[in-house]
């Protein structure tokens, strides 16, 4: 049976003030206050905020009087500098990295098929290490590990950042070329090895005179594919301070007072440059792959 309390659950028997029970739930700030406030806003509030967000760039444009026409004109002025000092430097980095990675990768790939277990396992470990590591992490390690200059006697040889970038990018390329070489050699039918051994060829003669000449055509398409991938990865060097296309693009926009309208034209130009260079390589790669495909 519920007890009857005068002034609370029953009519008051006196006109004196009655102290109501204290509720812990009402003590302190309401944790749902913000949620209730947001839920209490009218339904058209999100539309109003969206309209303000869309109108803000137009207001800033009207106040600044700097349009996309001015941004295009600025890009036209900076275009020779971005092409000759920027994009061609990306191409130079990619060519040097590919050259170093190809030579080192070919040697590493041949080491993977060595008959000496220690050499074969070491080459496999090196290949897997650089093949499955993020390129940006490798670049940072090379940047921090390599010295800024080498002193030989009284001769000081500086090592610029772009040389470090070339070395850093050549390492993953080396690992992937190593796999290309190993896979191409292993794709040659074993009958070629057996026939060569029956003619008393040495292993060196079999590799250089019989096996590898058959592998060149098979290695060209994936080699070109990795060169295109490498070229598209060269903008990572901008994080190391290398003055390539992306770095110079940022500097050019800073020279034009960093107007927001500069972002789309300048970065679109960089995108077009990389696309115009890499797309033909991709098409040629596909054509060569179809031409040199092994027909069973």
Q: What is the pLDDT of residues 19-35, one digit of tens each?
A: 555 454 444 444 444 33
Residues of the chain with pLDDT > 90, as a percent, come to 26
Question: Does 209 have pLDDT greater than 50?
Answer: yes
State the Rg of the chain over Cα: 34
Give, for 152, the enclosing helix (H) or strand (E).
strand 149-152
Residues of the chain with pLDDT > 70, as a percent, come to 75
Domain residue limits, the chain: 67-188+215-291
CA distances from 262 to 54, 267, 269 (A): 18, 8, 11
Residue 259: what pLDDT? 81
User: Given pLDDT bands bounded at 50, 70 and 90, which one contains residue 40?
Assistant: low
Beta bridge partners of 6: 10
68 phi and psi angles, rounded to 5 deg: -70, -25
* Distance in angstroms (rounded) separating the CA atoms of residues 241 and 218: 37
Question: Does 200 have pLDDT greater than 60?
Answer: yes
Residue 29: what pLDDT? 43
Question: Does 66 have pLDDT greater than 80?
Answer: no
The helix/strand/coil state of 25 is helix
Residue 262: what pLDDT? 83
* pLDDT tens digits along 100-155: 999 999 999 999 998 899 999 999 999 999 999 999 999 999 888 887 877 777 78
| Cβ pair 252, 81 in contact under 8 A | yes
Task: Determine the straight-line distance between the first and last CA of the chain, rounded to whole angstroms.
Answer: 94
Give me the architecture of the 67-188+215-291 domain, per CATH: Orthogonal Bundle (1.10)
Residue 6, judged by CB atoms within 10 A of its CB (0-12, 13-18, 19+), counts as exposed
Higher pLDDT, 35 or 266: 266
Question: Does 95 have pLDDT greater than 90?
Answer: yes
């Amino acid at each position: 049976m519920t007890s009857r309390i005068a002034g609370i659950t029953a009519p008051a028997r006196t006109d004196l003030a009655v102290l109501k029970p204290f509720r812990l739930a009402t003590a302190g700030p309401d944790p749902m206050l913000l949620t209730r406030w947001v839920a209490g806003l009218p339904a058209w509030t999100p539309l109003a905020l969206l309209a303000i967000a869309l109108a803000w760039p137009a207001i800033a444009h009207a106040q600044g009087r700097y349009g996309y026409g001015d941004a295009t004109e600025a890009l036209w002025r900076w275009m020779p500098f971005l092409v000759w000092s920027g994009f061609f430097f990306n191409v130079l980095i990619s060519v040097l990295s590919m050259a170093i990675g190809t030579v080192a990768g070919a040697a590493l790939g041949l080491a993977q098929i060595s008959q000496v277990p220690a050499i074969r396992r070491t080459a496999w470990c090196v290949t897997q290490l650089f093949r499955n590591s993020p390129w940006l992490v490798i670049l940072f390690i090379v940047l921090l590990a390599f010295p800024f200059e080498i002193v030989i006697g009284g001769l000081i040889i500086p090592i610029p950042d772009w040389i470090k970038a070339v070395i850093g990018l050549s390492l993953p390329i080396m690992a992937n070329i190593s796999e290309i070489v190993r896979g191409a050699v292993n794709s040659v039918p074993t009958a070629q090895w057996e026939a060569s051994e029956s003619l008393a060829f040495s292993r060196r003669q079999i590799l250089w005179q019989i096996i590898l000449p058959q592998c060149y055509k098979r290695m060209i398409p994936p080699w070109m594919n990795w060169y295109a991938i490498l070229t598209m990865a060269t903008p990572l060097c901008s994080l190391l301070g290398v003055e390539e296309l992306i770095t110079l693009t940022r500097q050019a926009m800073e020279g034009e007072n960093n107007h927001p309208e500069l972002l789309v034209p300048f970065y679109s130009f960089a995108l077009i440059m990389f696309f115009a260079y890499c797309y033909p390589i991709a098409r040629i790669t596909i054509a060569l792959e179809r031409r040199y495909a092994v027909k069973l």
